Structure 1
Amino acid sequence: MLELNPDIPKDPDKVDRIMKSATRIFAKNGYLQAKTADIAKDAEVSKGIVFRYFGDKGHLYLATVEYVYERLTDVADLSVWTDAKDLGDMIERAVRYKIQMQLDYPAEFKVSVQSFSDMKLLPADVQPEMAEFWKKRTAQSTATLEQPVLDRMHVRAGVDKKVLAKLLNSVGEAVFADAEVFMQKHPNAQIEDFEPIIEQIHSEFDIIEHGFLDE
């Protein structure tokens, strides 16, 4: 997790409570509407402790985003991606799995997704730190999860795999945005209710993999 003010002793239990409270409150209210005083109260610490540990609200938000990323990474089964036999298999397995995780960890996923739309609302000194955080994590995820599958595929000559990975990520992000809207409209939805969305992304990746021209 983000280490701020490293010279200041921190109570691990208080840090954990602050992170859990910040996750819930940022998820519910977003960056602008969330109040540090509410986070401190929910965590049963003083507001001064929050600022002493994290410096300001912007860096508290950054630390919370890193906290939820690490939490989701710790519980994730990466074999869902790396053991896929091909691109279609990978994306179907990944979509099902990520939707299920989104149902199991709604606050963590919401903070993660909101961090992109909230980025321009952050203080000027925090924005580049958030951008750099996601740049590194995206590159890391691509190398760890998608690249092993792409390396096993017989991609036609001339295709830049970096461009291909970027295209795949763009399509995936669009589908997960659809899933987010669906969840907001159907808060009690189960994984089975997402079959149309899963079929949608499977069809889109089938077109990417096999093309759309009738040769």
Structure 2
Amino acid sequence: MIQGNLQKEKEDKIYKEALKEFAQNGYDKGSTNTIVKEAGISKGALFNYFKNKRRLYLYVVNRALKELEQVFLEDIKSVSYDIFERIAEICEYKVKLALKFPMESTITMEAFGVKFEDFQDELKSEYDRYVEISNKLLLENIDYSKFKEEVDVKAVFEMLLYISEGFSKKIMATYGSNYNVIMNNREKINKEFSRFVEIIKNSVYK
């Protein structure tokens, strides 16, 4: 992603300022002029290392995502054996993580939400890895004894994924990738999502 030799201190400074700019203004309105001014480098130097604004944005998204994943996987230790309780626990932890790392959460939310269609070729491998980690976290050590005998558990899980994906798209359509607006409405969002999950739970549990 980075071209040439870039000192760690300078790289971290560029990342910090680019993260702030893209988190506050999004990709389309994010200004490389502001980034180079705050980072204390020339625009020529910036594009020497990152070629263009698109490459810089992808670098910031990938780095922010990896940092969030690392914290998430290190901190979330104990989760319920009940799949529905586990979903609620993971969602709640993700909210806490977003509150702790608002800029990283905002830019990854934009990249995998409203801007994903524009960047899906470059971000596909990261998205697939995210899905794989999420699936493993959701399905590992689940208590399947609570399900009715005739229930196809795999189909239930796929249904939950479809609902989550569709609900995420609905949130993006309603609030865009505005992190502050989403956080201010999180109780309403959680209540609506829980209603859908509860319907499935009552249908498949004994």
Q: Same fold (TM over 0.5)?
A: yes
Structure 2 residue identity aligned to 1:148: E
| Distance 1:102-1:170 versus aligned 2 partners, 3 A rule | farther
User: How far apart in 2 are the matches of 1:88 and 1:79?
Assistant: 20
| Distance 1:33-1:209 versus aligned 2 partners, 3 A rule | same
2:201 aligns with 209
TM-fit CA distance, 1:22: 1.3
| Distance 1:54-1:165 versus aligned 2 partners, 3 A rule | farther
* Contact 1:82 1:146 survives alignment (8 Å): no
| Distance 1:24-1:178 versus aligned 2 partners, 3 A rule | same
* Pick aligned residue for 1:118 from 115, 119, 143: 115
* Unaligned 5+ runs, structure 1: none
Q: What CA RMSD, in Å, does the superposition of the two structures yield over aligned residues?
A: 3.2
Q: Deviations over 1:126-163 (max 9, x none)?
A: x41123321232223323x11205x54246567372x5
User: How far apart in 2 are the matches of 1:186 and 1:164?
Assistant: 27
User: How far apart in 2 are the matches of 1:159 and 1:89?
Assistant: 19
TM-fit CA distance, 1:167: 3.1
> Which range moved further: 69-78 or 164-173?
164-173
1:4 aligns with 2
Q: Deviations over 1:84-111 (max 9, x none)?
A: 2211211111121111222222211111
User: How far apart in 2 are the matches of 1:81 and 1:36?
Assistant: 39
Structure 2 residue identity aligned to 1:57: K
User: How far apart in 2 are the matches of 1:19 and 1:200?
Assistant: 36
SS in 2 for 1:211: helix
* Pick aligned residue for 1:168 from 156, 160, 183: 160
TM-fit CA distance, 1:19: 1.2
| Distance 1:175-1:44 versus aligned 2 partners, 3 A rule | same
| Distance 1:137-1:64 versus aligned 2 partners, 3 A rule | same
* Pick aligned residue for 2:144 from 135, 153, 167: 153
* Pick aligned residue for 2:15 from 11, 19, 22: 19
SS in 2 for 1:45: coil
* Contact 1:27 1:111 survives alignment (8 Å): yes
1:137 aligns with 130
* Contact 1:87 1:209 survives alignment (8 Å): no
Structure 1 residue identity aligned to 2:19: T
What percentage of aligned pairs have identical amino acids? 23
Q: How many residues were matched structurally? A: 198
State how 1:63-142 maps to structure 2 within 5 Å: 63-77=59-73, 80=76, 83-116=79-112, 117-121=114-118, 127-142=120-135
| Distance 1:199-1:37 versus aligned 2 partners, 3 A rule | same
* Unaligned 5+ runs, structure 2: none
